[in-house]
Chains A and B, each alone.
Chain A
Amino acid sequence: MIIKNKAIVADDWTVLRLQENETAESVHVAAGKVIVPLKVWQAQRDALQQRKEIGVWLASDERPEALKDDIQKFSVIAVDFPKFSDGRGYSIAFNLRARLSYTGELRAIGDVLRDQLFYMQRVGFDAFAPRPDRKIEDALKGLSDFSEVYQTSFDRRLPLFRRAQRKGNQAESSQ
């Protein structure tokens, strides 16, 4: 199960992670819907791009620009959070959406916890695979912690000051 578009849904993708003895060139990518590491995509691009559906994931130290020419080929792009405190994935997501105009599913994988979900959805993630040892129903609640935000990011193109008629002090003192 994952969270997608603010709902809990079944999921039939598998995430391929290289084991120690495997290399990007030689690893076998099973049939079906697989999200492969960027390195595997780069090494086996010719074969993989024949598939009807393929996904790719970026590690937090990889650059989204590496997908520039292929970006519309993927049914899903995932960003891995090796630790929830590693915040590079937020900028990766923002860059994928805002700079590389990626419009497909953008999924957070790895150490994905409830209290990070609100921020993740703001920078452009629309799918989340919360850590399996946690209740996914609880994680879902994290998406609605706040109903208003100040600054622009991917989800709100306009900052609050351009969206709302806000009161300054003049308005208050004239009450």
Chain B
Amino acid sequence: MYRYDEYDQQIVDERVRQYRDQVRRRLSGELTEEEFMPLRLQNGLYMQIHGYMLRIAVPYGLISSQQMRMFAHIARKYDRGYGHFTTRQNIQFNWLKLQDTPDILADLASVQMHAIQTSGNCIRNITSDEFAGVAHDEVVDPRPYAEILRQWSTFHPEFAYLPRKFKIAISGSKEDRAAIYAHDIGLAVTKNAQGEIGFRVVVGGGLGRTPIIGSEICEFVPWQHILTYVESILRVYNQYGRRDNKYKARIKILVKALGIDEFKRQVEVDWADLKGGPGTLTGQEVDRVASCFTDPAYETLSDHDSKLNEFKADNRSFSHWLQRNVRPHRIPGYVSVVLSLKKTGNAPGDATAEQMDFAADLADRYSFGELRITHKQNLVLADVRQKDLISLWQEASVYELTTPNIGMLTDIISCPGAEFCTLANARSIPLAKLIAERFESLDFQYDIGEITLNISGCVNACGQHHIGNIGITGVEKKDHDEWYQVSIGGAEGNDSSISKIIGPSFTFFQVPEVIERLLQVYVRERIEAERFIDTVRRIGHAPFKDHVYAADFIAQDEEVADKHIVAPAQYEVPYFSPRF
């Protein structure tokens, strides 16, 4: 993976110094909270219900075992012993003190990490495919370009005070696993007919209040020109994006208002005199960065391991795990393993310090010391020898990292929701728990097959509910109680789509029953191996809607009971949000 040279290190160290001084000025009252806010936000520090939340960048989701151990250290020393991995491949710590944050950043800098631009109206941490470099369907390895873009966007002087946040995702495989259509800029690295490398550029996607699938602005930007092309997109947006209404400030609104053709024209006018200029990328720089992403020392192995088959035959859990959590690798004898952070009862994406340390050990022993964080809030060991799978599985099971549910119903994506977030209309994590408990049966889940379920506590869509096959959103109602909207038909990847709401909203305890009914329709209507999403697309929303609303919901016993009981055990927090 990428290693800092003295320049990278110096910039990050100077950032720590600058930030330390900003915190000092805030604590001494020299800076008002209003002035400090954008400064801390550009450093990933949010003010949340329980205090400060720090979001740390994991550039394009790639992390070394040493860096993972630093997260464990931060969790223990400054937080309550756990952290939360996010859909943007970052990690968040929820219980920090402002005074500690400069030290945390210094600790991070010592392992080549930072929290730069993980929040605020700037270019955010760049996300990518969690299987970059190892995927069997990869056309071009996106990691060198992701790193080049990381450097280009870091402290870009012109684009630090954009109308709104700006998210870039990059993918290099046939199947898009980076949700490039749901980003402000989505990049697909690819090759043209002549075999030259370039980028298909998609712009104006985004979720939030106004979900929009991005539009293609250029079919092929040769790699040399990608930085200047992206610069021109940003410059047009910086000048003309709306600043009068923060709900209309994302680039997607500008692209919609101008139309993609007019937007493209403006970008190309700006680009005309940058193209070929000094910002043009050099082959030497691509080679330099790519030299950090060369293959590890793979052994020459063959693909079949008879011991594995034997073990599989008489161990059902293991064979489930092989089926769901282990993915093919482009090198014979190797596989990628997904460590599930979705054990029923836990908050999706949460990991304890012990799990982090342990995952780091696994990486050292089985995967060349590297890990990846997925946008579905799990961890990946990308380069595991097939013959190590049994011992890896046995060890990881002890740390509850082998729930065989990847890509299935209980692999739920969830935002932090009302326990943590001041913007929430409703709880997300406890709902994820309730749903996971209801559908815990593996037989049931395997029967349902591939499905995505995304939960956001409000319209901001941090849980990306618009691109879940089933999406759940906490909505605002006059009575200030918790209500959830349920939508179906969303998807990410090559055939991305935005989900549609099925009808009036539901209470917390009704949601699992709603899901049950949606699945009943699917089971009734599906043809052969059709996935849930395929059935929705084929038969439309109506049959689902009709069935869900056909019968009354019977009040559950728990509803009478204390709402607190559904919070995951590690949160010793009351059910509380200032909004209620």
Chain A positions near chain B (C-beta within 8 angstroms): 84-88, 90-92, 94, 99, 113, 115-116, 118-120, 122-123, 145-153, 157-162, 164, 166-170, 172
Contact indicator B238/A91 (Cβ below 8 Å): yes
Task: List, in ascending order, chain A residues with CB within 8 A of B282's CB.
Answer: 161-162
Q: Which residue of B lies closest to A159 (CB)?
A: B279
Task: List, in ascending order, chain B residues with CB within 8 A of A145's CB.
Answer: 14, 18
List of 8 A-B pairs having minimum Cβ-Cβ separation, nearest first: A87-B161, A122-B157, A168-B291, A168-B288, A119-B157, A161-B285, A169-B292, A90-B158
A151 to B161 CA separation, bound complex (whole angstroms): 17
Contact indicator B278/A157 (Cβ below 8 Å): yes
* Given A99-B273, A169-B292: A88 in contact with B238 (beta carbons within 8 A): yes
Task: List, in ascending order, chain A residues with CB within 8 A of B243's CB.
Answer: 86, 88
Interface string of B6-38 (1 = CB under 8 A from A): 010011001100100010000000000001001
* Given A94-B158, A151-B156, A170-B291: A146 in contact with B38 (beta carbons within 8 A): no
Task: List, in ascending order, chain A residues with CB within 8 A of B35's CB.
Answer: 84, 113, 115
Contact indicator B5/A166 (Cβ below 8 Å): yes
Minimum CB–CB distance from A53 to chain B (whole Å) comes to: 29
- 25 CB-based A-B contacts, threshold 8 Å: A84-B161, A85-B38, A87-B121, A87-B160, A88-B243, A90-B158, A90-B161, A91-B235, A115-B39, A116-B161, A118-B157, A119-B158, A148-B7, A148-B11, A148-B14, A151-B157, A161-B281, A161-B288, A162-B282, A166-B5, A166-B288, A167-B5, A168-B289, A169-B294, A170-B291
A78 to B250 CA separation, bound complex (whole angstroms): 28
* Given A87-B160, A167-B5: A150 in contact with B152 (beta carbons within 8 A): yes
A36 to B76 CA separation, bound complex (whole angstroms): 58
Task: List, in ascending order, chain B residues with CB within 8 A of A92's CB.
Answer: 239
Contact indicator A85/B161 (Cβ below 8 Å): yes
Minimum CB–CB distance from B367 to chain A (whole Å) comes to: 18
* Given A119-B160, A168-B289, A172-B3: A84 in contact with B38 (beta carbons within 8 A): yes
Minimum CB–CB distance from A37 to chain B (whole Å) comes to: 19
Contact indicator A150/B238 (Cβ below 8 Å): no
User: B3, B153, B287: which has the most chain A beta carbons within 10 Å?
Assistant: B3
A165 to B152 CA separation, bound complex (whole angstroms): 17
Contact indicator B11/A85 (Cβ below 8 Å): no
Minimum CB–CB distance from B150 to chain A (whole Å) comes to: 9
Task: List, in ascending order, chain B residues with CB within 8 A of A87's CB.
Answer: 121, 158-163, 238
Contact indicator A169/B3 (Cβ below 8 Å): yes
Say which residue of A84, A159, A166, A168 sits within 8 Å of B278 (CB atoms): A159
Task: List, in ascending order, chain A residues with CB within 8 A of B5's CB.
Answer: 166-167
A168 to B14 CA separation, bound complex (whole angstroms): 22
Say which residue of B7, B158, B287 sits within 8 Å of A164 (CB atoms): B7
